[in-house]
Chains A and B, each alone.
Chain A
């Protein structure tokens, strides 16, 4: 049988994705980041799993080297790749927010925003008709306001612990975020029956 290749995001989302497979009774054991392996093949299911950085999942799927992928909506919004969004898996749920220092007085306009998501931030502030300068950082964006680089950050928030520890508060909510099942446009047609079968199994449990 030809392999169905699925690209999975490393990190928090991976554990939840593997739980999902368990729930639909696919026993894809030993898939973890610790093993350092990047490709896992399961002959019984005719499936191949790839572990990649979350940002790369839509790239692999767009080019068709992976048929399907599990990617956060944050990544899909930021990268806007040519992929089909099949299903909201309701995994790794969090929110995309604007956060500012706790002691910031309300009503002062935001001039500078630090974020890993420049496109999302830019379109959000454009819609609010606020001209802002976006500074792209690659991680630990909370440092922006702490060091005085920016007035605010745009980032994903799950529990809010990180914000609290860095004395930031949520000022605005941009959108809810969750993991999506995405498909390559050609695979979606050429491997349609296998993808539809997987889809209906997942739909039955979420």
Chain B
């Protein structure tokens, strides 16, 4: 086999036709963000490792690309943008009392086994709403994420909503050592119902809670799920979470025609900074979630900021993989072929066309075959040469 220069696994080459589609999607997305009052923010590509790790679960640091600065301090390539935004808000907007709205489209880096729609470097589209407590902000974020999807042409998605406090409430009822509790939380997080059943088989849990835990795999569906759950014996923490979910469901009702909602009390997202409502978005076109988000009221504390916040991120690759075949790539520049003697004439022609806002590519004419003779491009092809 011929020698081919290799690139590392998990990074992707975007060639121009794909980049054009990517940018087309991004333009539509930025347009929605702008209308909703979200301002673009750019986070540094790397930060100190501490910025990322203490806010996330310990295992998460395995996924971070690390390196050293000249003083030997550990640096990390950004693994998500939300954490950097939290740091920036704490640093620059400490005195700012109005709600803040930020958006970004940015690449992030995580050590993970590359698979379809999830490379080690991938692009996230996200929005953060900082400084509004409670369900109104969660409602806005869910509607905004939905609006973006619809705007770029994905309409058959569902938004699946859960609540971290509900899960915490369930775990509070479990009388077991922290190690075991951690395992149980992990089984719920990874939806390993077989393991979950095994783990709680022989530990003391209040009967009501045990029943809910054992049937977590079937508590999934529309708003009726919330009603079903409210009839089970639950502690106060769970009840409060449920009532927040009910309020959210109620608020989104007016928009229900457009946004399909489901509820899943067992939904827990990977990042540990979530503190309230969490959600994930699915579409039949993708075997992986398109994205998700939720409330992270304590993330800013770490940077001495202390403001409530909620946000979402979509994986751009997942969006692209669904839309790629439907987006028309309409790239039609003008071509000017010229021979050496007529370079200046050709340049002037190019200038004239560019002034008319046309795209021009100049190509030196070395032999006749060089000329692009596709009939559909004839009107866009200029040949400038000296007749021989």
Assuming the contacts A189-B220, A190-B158, A199-B217, asked whether A87 and B116 have C-beta atoms less than 8 A apart, the reply is no
Chain B interfacial positions (CB closer than 8 Å to A)? 115-116, 158, 160, 190-195, 217-218, 220-221, 262, 264, 282-284, 286-289
Number of chain A interface residues as a range: 20 to 34
Contact B287 A84 (CB under 8 A): no
Contact A186 to B289, CB < 8 A, known contacts A63-B116, A84-B193: yes
B262 touches A189 (CB 8 A): yes
Residues 64-104 of A, flagged 1 when their CB comes within 8 A of B and 0 if not, give 11000000000000000000111110000000000000000
Which residues of A179-206 are within 8 A (CB) of B? 180, 184-190, 192, 196, 199
Instruction: Verify B191–A185 contact, CB threshold 8 A.
Output: yes
Q: Closest approach, in angstroms, between the C-beta of B159 and any C-beta of chain A?
A: 10
With an 8 A cutoff between CB atoms, is A155 at the interface?
no
Chain B residues with CB under 8 Å of A184's CB are: 287
Assuming the A-B contacts A63-B116, A185-B289, are A190 and B282 also in contact, with contact meaning beta carbons closer than 8 angstroms in the complex?
Answer: yes
Q: A84-B192, A88-B194, A185-B191 are in contact. Are A64 and B217 (CB under 8 A)?
A: no
Q: Is A142 an interface residue (CB 8 A)?
A: no
CA distance A63 to B286 in the complex (A): 8
Which residues of A come within 8 Å of B, CB atoms? 62-65, 84-88, 180, 184-190, 192, 196, 199
B191 & A85 in contact (Cβ 8 Å cutoff): yes
A65, A87, A185, A187: the one within 8 Å of B193 (CB)? A87
Nearest-CB residue, chain B, relative to A66: B287
The residue that A189 contacts in the complex, of B160, B192, B195, B286, with Cβ under 8 A, is: B160
Quick check: A185 and B194 within 8 Å, CB to CB? no
Given contacts A86-B217, A189-B160, whether A65 and B191 have CB atoms under 8 Å apart is no
> Of all chain B residues, which has the CB nearest A73?
B194
**Those 4 A-B pairs whose CB atoms lie nearest each other, nearest first:** A64-B287, A84-B191, A85-B192, A186-B282
Q: In the assembled complex, how far is the CB of residue A196 from the closest CB belonging to chain B, in whole angstroms?
A: 6
Please name 7 further chain A to chain B contacts, defined as beta carbons within 8 Å, in addition to the given A87-B193, A180-B194, sorted by A numbering: A85-B192, A185-B191, A186-B284, A189-B160, A189-B282, A192-B220, A192-B221
Q: In whole angstroms, how far apart are the Cα atoms of A185 and B117 in the complex?
A: 14
Q: With A192-B220, A196-B218 in contact, do A186 and B287 touch (Cβ < 8 Å)?
A: yes
Assembly CA distance A204 to B116 (angstroms): 36
- Residues in B with CB closer than 8 Å to A192 are 220-221, 262
Question: CA A87 – CA B288 in complex, angstroms?
Answer: 21
- Report whether B220 and A64 are in contact in the complex, using a CB–CB cutoff of 8 Å: no
What is the distance, in angstroms, from A76's C-beta to the closest C-beta of chain B? 9
B187 to chain A: closest residue by CB: A85
By CB atoms of chain A within 10 A, which of B191, B218, B264, B287 has the most? B287
The contact sample of 19 A-B pairs, CB cut-off 8 A, is A63-B288, A64-B286, A84-B191, A85-B190, A180-B194, A184-B287, A185-B191, A185-B287, A185-B289, A186-B284, A186-B288, A188-B191, A189-B158, A189-B160, A189-B262, A189-B282, A190-B282, A192-B221, A192-B262
